[in-house]
């Protein structure tokens, strides 16, 4: 089995100051987010015009230009401003691509790529399909289809995958749904959460582990798909370093109140992790293949 190390660039430490540090053994898990952001929030800093989307995986996804933004949202009214320090604490996940075309959708934008003969439409997940001819364009997008064409700048082409598929006048699409989000488009999943807290010092993950004592679980288990995220929250009253047993990844030193979000980029399997190198301070991470 081949393993890939998680580099320092794959995690970010988020600092928070107002936690209840020592929780009772049976307390519910509570995972704060930077700047109190919720999934789906739009945000920016005061000195930048770039707007980001807060994804289900708690990473930020940028809008490369206004043309892309306005396929998802009608205005900027819901964009909130956060500090540069807060922005730097949110892992960058990638760029947002055009809203995909659905059957019955009336405002689809067509994309022109310099050097390509076809016009393209987005079908989701950053995939583009070509439009066969003007007959197909009129059939799906109306007689004013030419007014819907945006030129995709060369610098943004790498955000997409141009498929070999070409739609004709007979092509069919999925029905437009009421609520389709960027998290849906990117198939994002919530991070698995692992809390660290005291009385005694231990992990408390989303799933209870098998190594439970009389009063609390000595360790707990978390599950994540390859490429997903796992979030460690240090509610303990001391510094903690979490490290995978074979040093494939580490949180680094987490001070009291720190959160570390890791992108899990290792092969499917089961991995033990330890706090401060203590064999009794142990957890288990199951990494599943992405479906």
> pLDDT tens digits, the chain, 291 residues: what are they?
322 223 333 333 333 332 322 333 333 445 778 888 999 999 999 999 999 999 999 999 999 999 999 999 999 999 999 999 889 878 899 999 999 999 878 899 999 999 998 999 999 999 999 999 999 999 999 999 999 999 999 999 999 999 989 999 999 998 877 789 999 999 999 888 888 888 778 887 755 445 555 444 545 788 999 988 888 888 899 999 999 999 999 999 998 888 788 888 899 999 999 999 888 888 889 999 987
Q: How many residues are recorded in the chain?
A: 291
**Unique residue bearing structure tokens 């819907």:** 148
Euclidean distance between CA atoms 285 and 207, whole angstroms: 10
| DSSP at 276 | T
Give residue 242's pLDDT: 95
Give residue 7's pLDDT: 33
- pTM greater than 0.85: no
Give residue 219's pLDDT: 55
CA distances from 2 to 172, 227, 244, 253, 284 (A): 42, 15, 15, 27, 19
Domain extent listing, the chain: 8-32+190-288, 40-95, 110-179
Task: For the domain covering 8-32+190-288, report its CATH number.
Answer: 2.60.40.420
Euclidean distance between CA atoms 216 and 236, whole angstroms: 15
Kindly give, in sequence order, each residue whose CB lies less than 8 Å from that of residue 68, ignoring residues fewer than 6 positions away.
96, 97, 98, 156
Instruction: Tally Cβ neighbours within 10 Å of residue 1.
Output: 6
Question: In the chain, what is the straight-line distance between the N-terminal and C-terminal CA atoms, in Å?
Answer: 19
Give residue 212's pLDDT: 52
Q: Which residues of 76-210 form beta strands (DSSP E)?
A: 79-81, 92-95, 110-112, 119-124, 127-131, 149-151, 161-167, 192-197, 202-205, 207-208
Phi first, then psi: what are they for 264, rounded to 5°? -90, 105
């Amino acid at each position: 089995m081949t393993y890939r190390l998680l580099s320092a660039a794959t995690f970010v430490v988020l600092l928070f100051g107002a936690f209840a540090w020592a929780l009772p053994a049976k307390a519910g898990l509570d995972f704060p987010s930077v700047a109190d952001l919720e999934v789906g929030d739009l945000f920016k800093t005061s000195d930048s015009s770039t707007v980001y989307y807060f994804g289900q995986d708690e990473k930020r996804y940028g809008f490369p230009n206004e043309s892309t933004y306005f396929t998802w949202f009608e205005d900027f009214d819901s964009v909130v401003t956060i500090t540069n320090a807060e922005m730097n604490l949110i892992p960058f996940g990638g760029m947002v691509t055009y809203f995909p075309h659905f059957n019955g959708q009336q405002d689809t934008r067509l994309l022109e790529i310099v050097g390509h003969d076809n016009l393209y439409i987005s079908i989701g997940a950053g995939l583009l399909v070509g439009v066969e001819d003007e007959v197909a364009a009129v059939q799906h997008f109306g007689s004013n289809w030419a007014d819907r064409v945006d030129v995709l700048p060369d610098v943004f082409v790498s955000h997409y995958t141009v498929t070999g598929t070409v739609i004709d006048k007979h092509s069919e699409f999925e029905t437009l749904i009421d609520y389709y989000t960027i998290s849906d488009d990117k198939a994002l999943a919530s991070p698995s959460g692992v809390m660290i807290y005291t009385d005694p010092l231990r992990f408390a993950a989303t799933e209870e582990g098998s190594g439970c004592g009389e009063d609390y679980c000595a360790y707990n288990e978390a599950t994540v798909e390859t490429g997903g995220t796992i979030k460690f929250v240090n509610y303990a009253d001391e510094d903690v370093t979490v490290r995978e047993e074979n040093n494939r990844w580490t949180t680094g030193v987490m001070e009291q109140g720190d959160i570390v979000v890791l992108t899990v980029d290792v092969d499917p399997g089961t991995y033990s992790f330890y706090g401060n190198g203590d064999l009794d301070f142990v957890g288990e991470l199951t990494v599943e293949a992405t479906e």
